[in-house]
């Protein structure tokens, strides 16, 4: 009975892969909030209400300077949004967060209200990887949430392989690494060896607050404070963990598979 039942069910369900990126992106949960936006000129003088409530010390304000928010350290708890009396820090609901350079995650300066979204890989790399990217995932102190939401991209709803992106079992078969976790001292050697085993040219993607700066474990002496302490990082995807849509957006952005303007925004 089982096999006809399975086939009928399969036919009834049809294709369950989302239309994105050709169609609309799925909406983020309403309480997710998405990317943060900082309008430092709205800050009241001498107000630093957001500074002590931030668990990862992502927000700083020195006397006379505008408020600064490092989205690389942010775990998106939105405590700062809740306490801000002047709506200087707000949630945008935007899932897009991936950047190419670490400094593009620093908000608050003039013209730096939001993250500066990632540009695509340059000519040769884009030609090599644009339609076929094989990644080796290394968890180096990740708590299994980033790992889980990377894994979910392989399920039928997201179907990552339709973009030619796959996770492979060996670094020898890979074009790059996707790293999660703050890079514990105990994983340093394994990560270096895995990186060395990936043939050139190669890229590195750091997923999650831990892999960018240490996340909730910032300052602990048992880790190195993120992937860039050991390997050069080409793409940073913030979040704790980043929503799968945020990760997918980052990957597609890097490979120039998103054409802004043609793709409808989220919502």
Partner 1 sequence: MSATTTFALLANSTALPWAEVPEWPVAEFVEATAVELGRGARLCAWFGVPEGSSVRLVAVLAFDADNTLAVGRSTPVEPEGSMPFVVSNCYPSLTARHAQAHLFEREVWEQHGLVPQGHPWLKPVRKTGPGPAPANGEFFRVGGREVHEVAVGPVHAGIIEPGHFRFQCAGEEVLHLEIALGYQHRGVEAALAGGPHRMTMSQMETVAGDTTIGHATAYASVLEALSGTEAPLRAQWLRAVALELERLANHTGDLGALANDVAFLPTASACGKTRGDFLNLTALICGNRFGRGLVRPGGCRHDLEPARAAQLLERLQPALAEVEQAAMWLWESASVRSRFENTGTVFPTQAAEIGLVGPAARASGLVRDVRYDHPAGWHRFAQAPVAVWPGGDVLARARVRWLEVQRSGQFLREQLAAPPEGGIHEALATPAPDMFAVALVEGWRGEVCHAALTDASGRFRRYKITDPSFHNWNGMTLALRGQAISDFPLCNKSFNLSYCGFDL
Shortest Å, Cβ 214 to partner 1: 9
Min CB(250)–partner 1 separation in Å: 16
3-state secondary structure at position 180: strand
Residue with tokens 């801000």: 84
DSSP characters over 187-243: HHHHHHHHHHHSPSS-EEEEESHHHHH-GGGTT-TTB-SSGGGTS--SEEE-SSSPP
Q: How far is the CB of 141 from partner 1 (least distance, A)?
A: 5
Using the minimum distance from each CB to partner 1, give the nearer residue, 114 or 194: 194
DSSP states of 64-127 as a string? TSPPEEETTT-----HHHHH-TT--EEE-------BSSGGGGEESSTT-SS--PPPPPPHHHHH
Which secondary structure element, helix H or strand E, spans residue 36, and what is its range? strand 36-38
- Structure tokens belonging to residue 197: 């085993």
Q: Which is nearer to partner 1, 90 or 112 (CB)?
A: 90
Indicate the residue among 88 and 143 with the shorter CB distance to partner 1.
Answer: 143
To partner 1, the closest distance from the beta carbon of 171 in angstroms equals 8
Given the complex with partner 1, which of 127 and 193 has the nearer CB atom? Answer: 193
Q: How far is the CB of 24 from partner 1 (least distance, A)?
A: 17
Q: Sign (positive/negative) of CA torsion 233, 222, 218, 93?
A: positive
Which residue lies nearer to partner 1 by CB, 7 or 119? 7
């Amino acid at each position: 009975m089982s096999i006809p039942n399975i086939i009928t069910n399969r036919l009834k369900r049809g294709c369950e892969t989302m239309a994105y990126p050709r169609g609309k992106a799925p909406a983020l949960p309403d309480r997710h909030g998405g990317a943060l936006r900082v309008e430092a000129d709205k800050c009241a003088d001498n107000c630093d209400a957001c500074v002590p409530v931030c668990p990862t010390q992502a927000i700083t304000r020195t006397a006379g300077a505008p408020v600064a928010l490092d989205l690389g350290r942010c775990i998106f708890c939105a405590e700062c949004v809740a306490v801000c009396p002047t709506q200087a820090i707000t949630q945008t609901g935007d899932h897009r967060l991936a950047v190419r350079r670490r400094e593009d995650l620093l908000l608050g300066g003039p013209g730096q209200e939001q993250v500066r979204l990632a540009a695509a890989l340059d000519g040769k790399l884009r030609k090599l990887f644009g339609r076929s990217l094989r990644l080796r995932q290394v968890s180096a102190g990740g708590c299994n949430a980033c790992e889980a939401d990377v894994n979910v991209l392989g399920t039928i709803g997201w179907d990552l392989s339709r973009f030619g992106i796959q996770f492979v079992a060996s670094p020898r078969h890979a074009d790059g690494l996707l790293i999660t976790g703050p890079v514990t001292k105990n994983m340093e050697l394994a990560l270096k060896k895995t990186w060395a085993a990936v043939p050139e040219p190669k890229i590195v993607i750091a997923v999650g607050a831990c892999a960018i700066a240490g996340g909730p474990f910032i300052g602990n002496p048992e880790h190195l404070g993120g992937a860039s302490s050991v390997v050069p990082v080409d793409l940073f995807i913030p979040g704790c963990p980043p929503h799968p849509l945020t990760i997918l957006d980052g990957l597609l952005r890097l490979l120039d598979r998103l054409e802004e303007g043609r793709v409808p925004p989220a919502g």
